[in-house]
Amino acid sequence: MYPAPFRYHRAATVEEAIARLVEIGEGARALAGGQTLLVWLKMRFDEPTDLVDIGRLPGLRDIEQEAGRVRIGALATHARIARAPLARQIPIVGDCASGIADNQVRSRGTIGGSLAAGDPSCDWPVLLTTLDAEVHCRGPSGTRTLPADGFVQDLYATRLEHGELVTGVSFALPGKGSAGAYVGFKRCAPAFPTSSVGVQLTLNGDDCTEARIALGSAGLTTIRAKAAEAELRGRTLGAGVIAKAAAAAAAAAEPVADQRGSPAFKRSLIDALVKRGVEVARRRARGETVEVSHEYY
Ligand SMILES: Cc1cc2nc3c(=O)[nH]c(=O)nc-3n(C[C@H](O)[C@H](O)[C@H](O)COP(=O)(O)OP(=O)(O)OC[C@H]3O[C@@H](n4cnc5c(N)ncnc54)[C@H](O)[C@@H]3O)c2cc1C
C-alpha cells in the first residue's frame, strides 16, 4: 500500500527540528532511519501530514566514553554500534546491535528511533533497561534525562512529549566482575524477536551481588523481571537458583498470542533464554570470551 500524502521537511539543526515539529503540531512526525515509521505509513497505521527529517542532524551519531560512562547519539545506527569497539568492549551491546534484523535495517535504523517507536519487540529498550541507562531528550521546554526503565509506557507510547526528541542515551561502564548477555529467539533475521532477554550480573566468585533482567516481546512494554533478579541477588549461582530465576521471569511475562506463538510457548522460551543469558553473563564475568546472538527457528 502507498502512504497517504505528506509534506517533507529536512531540518538542519536540533533546534530547527523541534521548532518545526511544534509549529506543525499533532500531524508532524520526526523521521530518523524510517525503518519503523515508513512501514507504519505504508500500512496506513499512521497518516501524518508532515515528516520532519532528522536523519542528517549533526552531532547525534557519535559513540563516546567519558568519566566511566558511555554515551551513544540518537542517530547512531544499529550497524554503526555493532561495528564500534564498544560492541567488543561491552559484549552485551554487540549481542543486541548485531542481532537486530538484517543488514539493510541495521544500516538505516537508529537507536533513538528504536526507543521512540515504543514497540515492545524492539531490542534497544530491553538492552538499555538491562544496563540501567538514561535517555537524553530535548524539546520545546528544554532538555531532560529520563530512565530507560519505564521510558516506553504502553504499546507504541513513550514518555516523549510532542516536539521532543531523543538526542542520545548513556549508561555506566560495567565495573569489575560485571558482565551481561542479550539473547533472543526469532524466525529469521528480518523478523522481530519472538522473545528476547537481557541479563547483567555482578559476581564475586560464584556469588551474585547484583542482577538486572529485562524481557522483550513479552508484553505491551519492556518488562523488568524484578522477582527473577531477587532470586539471583545474594545467592551462589547454581542450577537450582538459575532455574528459579528463569521461572520467575517467565511468570512476570505477559506475552500475547500472535503469529509468532502462544503465550505458553513464549513463556517457555523466556525460561530457556534467561537460563542461557545467565550462563553466558556468568562466563563473561569470569573473563571468558563468549559469542552469542539471536537464535533462529
Ligand atoms: C523488516 C524489519 C525487521 C526489523 N527487525 C527488528 C528487530 O529484530 N529488532 C529491533 O529492535 N528492531 C527491528 N526493526 C525495527 C528497526 O530497528 C527500526 O530501525 C527502529 O525500530 C526504528 O528506528 P528508525 O531510526 O528507523 O526510526 P523511524 O522509523 O524513523 O521512527 C520511528 C518512530 O520514532 C520516532 N523517532 C525517531 N527518531 C526519533 C528521535 N530521535 N526522537 C524522537 N522521536 C523519534 C519517529 O517519529 C517514529 O514515530 C525491524 C524493522 C524492519 C523493517
- My answer on whether 203 and 154 are in the same domain is no
- Asked if residue 109 and residue 191 are part of one domain, the reply reads no
- 71-107: burial string, b at 16+ Cβ within 10 Å, e else: bbbbbbbbbbbbbbebbeebbbbbbbbbbbbeeebbe
Q: In 10 A of CB 151, how many CB atoms?
A: 24
| Residues in the chain with pLDDT values less than 70 | none
* pLDDT reported for residue 297: 76
Angle at 213 between CA 210 and CA 219, to 5 degrees: 160
Q: How far is CA 145 from CA 37, 135, 165, 207, 228, in A?
A: 24, 6, 11, 33, 27
CA of 181 to the centre of ligand 1 (A): 22
Residue-wise pLDDT for 140-149, tens only, equals 999 999 999 9
Same domain, 198 and 267: yes
What pLDDT shows up at residue 295? 81
Q: Report pLDDT for 293.
A: 77
CA distance 186 to 192: 7
Angle between helix axes 123-130 and 91-99 (nearest 10 degrees) is 170
Beta strand ranges found along the chain (DSSP E): 7-10, 28-31, 50-53, 63-66, 69-73, 134-139, 142-147, 152-154, 157-158, 165-172, 178-186, 195-204, 207-216, 223-224, 295-296
CATH code where residue 277 lies: 3.30.390.50
Q: Are 210 and 131 in contact (CB under 8 A)?
A: no
Sheet of 223-224, strand order:
223-224, 207-216, 195-204, 178-186, 295-296
Q: Do 182 and 137 have their domain in common?
A: no
The reply to whether 23 falls in a domain is no
Residue 296 is predicted with a pLDDT of 82
Q: How crowded is residue 254: how many other Cβ atoms within 10 Å of its Cβ?
A: 15
Pocket of ligand 1 (CB under 6 A): 29-37, 39, 74, 100-101, 105, 109-110, 112-114, 116-117, 122-123, 160, 165-166, 190, 192-193
- Ligand 1 center to 119 CA (angstroms): 9
Shortest-distance Cα residue to atom 20 of ligand 1: 114
- Provide the domain count of the chain: 2
Q: What's the CA-to-centroid distance between 202 and ligand 1, angstroms?
A: 31
Nearest atom, ligand 1, residue 111 CA:
23
Assigned domain for 95 exists: yes
Same domain, 216 and 164: no
